[in-house]
Copies of this chain bind each other. A is one copy, B any other.
Amino acid sequence: MVRNYCKFPNKFTLAVIICEIIILVFFGVFVRYDWEVGMPKPLNKNYTEVHAKETAEEHVEHYYSLFQDIHIMMFIGFGFLMTFLKRYGFSSVGMNFFIAAFVLQWQTIIHGWIDTFEYYETLIESDFAAAAVLISFGAVLGKVSPIQLLIMAAMEIVFYEGNIKIVIGYIGATDIGDSMTVHTFGAYFGLMVAWVLYKKEVHDAEEKEGSVYQSDIFAMIGTIFLWICWPSFNSGTAVDEGRVRAIVNTYYSLTASVITTFAISSLVDKKNRFNMVHVQNSTLAGGVAIGSVADMIIQPWAAILTGMVAGVVSVLGYKFLTPYLSTRLKLHDTCGVHNLHGMPGVISGLGSILAAGISYPYLYENGLTKIFGDEAMDTSLNYRAGMQAACLGVTLGIAMFGGLMTGAVLKIPIFDHPIGEQIFDDEDYWIIPVDESHHRPAVDGEEMGPTFSKI
């Protein structure tokens, strides 16, 4: 049995302290309250115009409850969704907590450097960035050490912010629910990292890759909070009627993906039983698939159709594509983020090309510029559709390139890539309560943590 925990820990602590000191210095020099408002200034182009005269308290009323929903998605949603692994629950919810908190600070720096220093307190934007990293985490869950995860997060944010600067800032695409910039980006970035880090050993750990009855119910806490709060994610930075549409469209798309997930999950099982993996994940695909077009005028029926397609594609992905990728392409995707975020994100991008292609100004009355930006009235349908296509292509390219680079860095031996029994197992990373009846048997003579986790 090979154990490398004697090497890892001081490195982790050291790396965290270095990062945190950089962050502290940066904040000390550059970050101040925004006097007029003080909180999340979305990147949305119409922000200044629309909210210029908002007082501080109006600002809180306008954003805060949606912001809190998005926070619940990051910390409860993603954290508990990943607790399905029977022996990796502490790491799932714990490292999710750590990484999300780290990104909330780190993104502020990177965003300041890459974009401008103007939007420092964009707390909602920081949550979106955390989502991208947590999606990538899903692809490598159980197969990276804490320090690898920290480095992945730090690097991913650079590529993520660069991509946003290009596709939203320069190209001028619209992606209100971040289905391309967050979901597609996070998924393909994580998949490339997983592909580079692939080790045959992961198949030996298949027994640990499963769930137990209770861990599947814990995961449902994550699923359902993600599902409930998703309309806030897609509408958080939308304005005026666009915000209402983003809520309504996301709501209908999500209900449709729940319904089709159950129908198809039952269909693809020999005994027509439901599969918890599908219920935990594919039910959310509608929220991803509607994201890029959520504030556009697509009507509720199109939102339902989008959710149905996403649910079907996602379940079929879990059933047929994930095993294929794992065994043939050496692409092991622990949480199946390709099925929940990757493909539905691409669907959303394609949908946004279509919706932009029919974005006739009369449809939007005088609201076209609120969706497509100030210059929208001067562009053609084809131009607007083209920009959406460019956004999807560039995002896929940067995500995959960034993932490959990051994977290569993580392979450096100093970062303690988990091996053998460390895969899908909390034991080397957490003090585990001894608990003989509950999946945490003591292993051959190894010293365990104390019985009570108190001291």
Contacts and interface: CB of A to CB of B under 8 A. Distances in A.
A185 interface: no
A453 B210 contact: yes
Given A241-B56, A245-B33, A247-B39, A277 B454 contact: yes
Interface in A200-244: 206-207, 209-214, 216-218, 220-221, 224-225, 227-229, 232, 235, 239-241, 243-244
Contacts of A438: 212-214, 437-439
Given A255-B101, A430-B274, A213 B439 contact: yes
A356 B258 CA distance: 42
Interface residues of A, number: 138
Contacts of A16: 259-260, 262-263
A17 interface: yes
A83 interface: yes
Contacts of A225: 76
Interface string A7-39: 011101100110110011001100111010111
Given A32-B299, A266-B9, A431-B273, A218 B217 contact: yes
Contacts of A354: none
Interface string A35-69: 10111000000000000000111011110111011
A264 B308 contact: no
A71 B277 CA distance: 23
Contact of A97 (B239, B283, B430): B283
A79 to B, nearest CB: 6
A120 B105 CA distance: 40
Nearest to A303: B27
A90 B274 contact: yes
A35 B248 CA distance: 13
A304 interface: yes
B275 A20 contact: no
A301 interface: yes
B433 A210 contact: yes
Contacts of A62: 57, 61
Contact of A304 (B105, B433, B440, B452): B105
A70 to B, nearest CB: 10
A89 B72 CA distance: 23
Nearest to A30: B301
Contact of A273 (B89, B264, B449): B449
A84 interface: yes
A276 B431 CA distance: 7
A75 B263 contact: no
A198 interface: no
A278 to B, nearest CB: 9
Contacts of A266: 9, 12-13, 146
A383 interface: no
A69 B277 CA distance: 26
A265 to B, nearest CB: 9
Nearest to A108: B300
Interface in A375-421: none
A55 B252 CA distance: 22
B210 A452 contact: yes
Contacts of A435: 86, 212-213, 439
A428 interface: yes
Nearest to A32: B299
Contacts of A240: 55-57
A69 B68 contact: yes
Contact of A454 (B209, B227, B455): B209
Given A98-B259, A210-B452, 20 more contacts: A5-B272, A9-B267, A9-B271, A12-B266, A13-B264, A31-B301, A33-B297, A38-B241, A39-B247, A55-B240, A57-B62, A60-B235, A79-B224, A84-B453, A210-B453, A213-B438, A213-B439, A216-B453, A275-B431, A323-B455
* Complex A-B, nearest 5 residue pairs according to Cβ-Cβ distance, in ascending order: A9-B272, A210-B452, A38-B244, A101-B258, A27-B301
